[in-house]
Chain A
Amino acid sequence: MKTWSTIVTSRRAALLAGVLALCGTMLAFTQTSPVGTRSDENARLQEQVLRGRELVISHGCGGCHGGVDNPAAEGWLAGLTSPAQEFRIGPCGAGGDDTCFRTRPRNLTPHPTTGLGRFSERQIFNALRYGLRPGETADVEITSSTPGEGSFPMFPKYLAPPMPWAAWRHMPDEDLWAIAAYLKHGLKPVDNLVEDSEGPPDFWASAYTEEAYGSYPLRAFPGPNEVEPGPDADRDQVLRGRHLVVQHACGDCHGGLTNPEAPGFLTGVTSPIQVFPVGPCLEDPDAPCFMMRPRNLTPHPTAGTGRWTDQQLFNALRHGLRPADGPDRAVTPATLPDDAVFLAPGMPWMELRHMPDQDLRDIIAYLRHGLKPVSNEVEDSDRPPEGWRGMYETMGAGTHPAAPFPTSNEVGG
Chain B
Amino acid sequence: MHHRAVLVATPLLATMGWAAATHAPSTPLAPGESLPDTLVAPPILEDRAPHPRTVEVTLTVAPTTVELIPGQSTDVFAYNGRVPGPTLEVREGDRLIIHVRNDLKEETTVHWHGLHLPWQADGSPFYPIPPGGEADFDFVVPEGSAGTYWYHPHPHHRTAYQVAKGLYGALIVRAAADPLPEMTEKLLILSDNRFLPDGSIQVPDEGSLEARIDFENGREGDVLFVNGQILPSIEIRSGEVQRWRIVNASAARVYRLALEGHEVLHVGSDGGLFGEAIPVEEVLISASERVEILVRGTGAPGSTALLQTLPYDRYIPQTRPRDWGQPRDLVRLEYTDESPMGALEIPEVIRPIEALDPSAVSATRIFALTQGFINGKTMDMSRVDEVATLGTTEIWQIENLVGMDHPFHLHGFSFQVIERNGVPEPFPKWEDTVNVPAHETVRFIVKFEDYPGKWMYHCHILDHENFGMMGILEVRQP
Q: Which residues 317-347 of B sit at the A interface, judged by CB distance below 8 A?
A: 317-319
Task: Assess whether A29 is interfacial by the CB under 8 Å rule.
Answer: no
Question: Roughly how many angstroms separate A113 CA and B400 CA in the complex, as a whole number?
Answer: 8
* A197/B401 in contact, CB under 8 A: no
User: Among the listed B318, B399, B438, B441, which residue makes an inter-chain contact with A201, where contact means beta carbons less than 8 Å apart?
Assistant: B318
Residues on B with C-beta less than 8 A from A133 are 371
Residues on A with C-beta less than 8 A from B376 are 120, 123, 138-139
User: Among the listed B212, B317, B401, B438, which residue makes an inter-chain contact with A199, where contact means beta carbons less than 8 Å apart?
Assistant: B317
Residues on B with C-beta less than 8 A from A120 are 376
Q: Which residues 185-240 of B sit at the A interface, judged by CB distance below 8 A?
A: 207, 209, 212-213, 215-216
Q: Please classify how large the interface on chain B is, using the bins under 10, 10 to 19, 20 to 34, 35 or more.
A: 20 to 34
Q: State how many angstroms separate the Cβ of A356 from the closest Cβ of chain B.
A: 36
Q: Please classify how large the interface on chain A is, using the bins under 10, 10 to 19, 20 to 34, 35 or more.
A: 20 to 34
Q: Which residues 363-422 of B sit at the A interface, judged by CB distance below 8 A?
A: 368, 370-373, 376-378, 399, 401-403
Question: Roughly how many angstroms separate A200 CA and B371 CA in the complex, as a whole number?
Answer: 16
* A201/B212 in contact, CB under 8 A: yes
Q: State how many angstroms separate the Cβ of A366 from the closest Cβ of chain B.
A: 37
* B378/A138 in contact, CB under 8 A: yes
Task: Assess whether B351 is interfacial by the CB under 8 Å rule.
Answer: no
> Which chain A residue has the least Cβ–Cβ distance from B400?
A113
Residues on B with C-beta less than 8 A from A101 are 317
Task: Assess whether B157 is interfacial by the CB under 8 Å rule.
Answer: no
Task: Assess whether B439 is interfacial by the CB under 8 Å rule.
Answer: yes
Task: Assess whether A174 is interfacial by the CB under 8 Å rule.
Answer: no
> Which chain B residue has the least Cβ–Cβ distance from A122?
B376
> Which chain B residue has the least Cβ–Cβ distance from A160?
B318
Q: How many A-B residue pairs have CB under 8 A?
A: 57
* A157/B439 in contact, CB under 8 A: no
* B439/A114 in contact, CB under 8 A: yes
Question: Roughly how many angstroms separate A157 CA and B215 CA in the complex, as a whole number?
Answer: 12
Question: Roughly how many angstroms separate A201 CA and B216 CA in the complex, as a whole number?
Answer: 9
Interface of B is mostly: mixed
Question: Roughly how many angstroms separate A185 CA and B79 CA in the complex, as a whole number?
Answer: 55
Task: Assess whether A202 is interfacial by the CB under 8 Å rule.
Answer: yes
Q: A120-B376, A138-B373, A138-B377 are in contact. Are A201 and B213 (CB under 8 A)?
A: yes
Residues on B with C-beta less than 8 A from A119 are 401
Residues on B with C-beta less than 8 A from A136 are 370-372, 402
* B371/A135 in contact, CB under 8 A: yes
Question: Roughly how many angstroms separate A119 CA and B213 CA in the complex, as a whole number?
Answer: 24
Question: Roughly how many angstroms separate A105 CA and B402 CA in the complex, as a whole number?
Answer: 15
Q: State how many angstroms separate the Cβ of A323 from the closest Cβ of chain B.
A: 42
Q: Which residues 44-88 of A sit at the B interface, judged by CB distance below 8 A?
A: none
Q: List 19 A-B contacts (CB under 8 A).
A: A113-B441, A118-B399, A123-B376, A135-B370, A136-B372, A136-B402, A138-B377, A139-B373, A154-B207, A193-B439, A195-B403, A196-B402, A196-B403, A198-B317, A201-B209, A201-B212, A201-B213, A202-B209, A202-B212
A residues sitting closer than 8 Å to B (CB atoms) are 101-102, 113-114, 118-120, 123, 133-136, 138-139, 154-155, 157, 193, 195-203
5 closest A-B pairs by CB: A196-B403, A139-B376, A136-B371, A198-B317, A135-B402
Other than the known A113-B439, A118-B399, A199-B317, what 20 A-B pairs have Cβ atoms closer than 8 Å? A113-B441, A114-B439, A119-B401, A123-B376, A135-B370, A138-B377, A139-B373, A139-B376, A193-B439, A196-B316, A196-B317, A196-B403, A197-B317, A199-B318, A200-B318, A201-B209, A201-B212, A202-B209, A202-B212, A203-B318
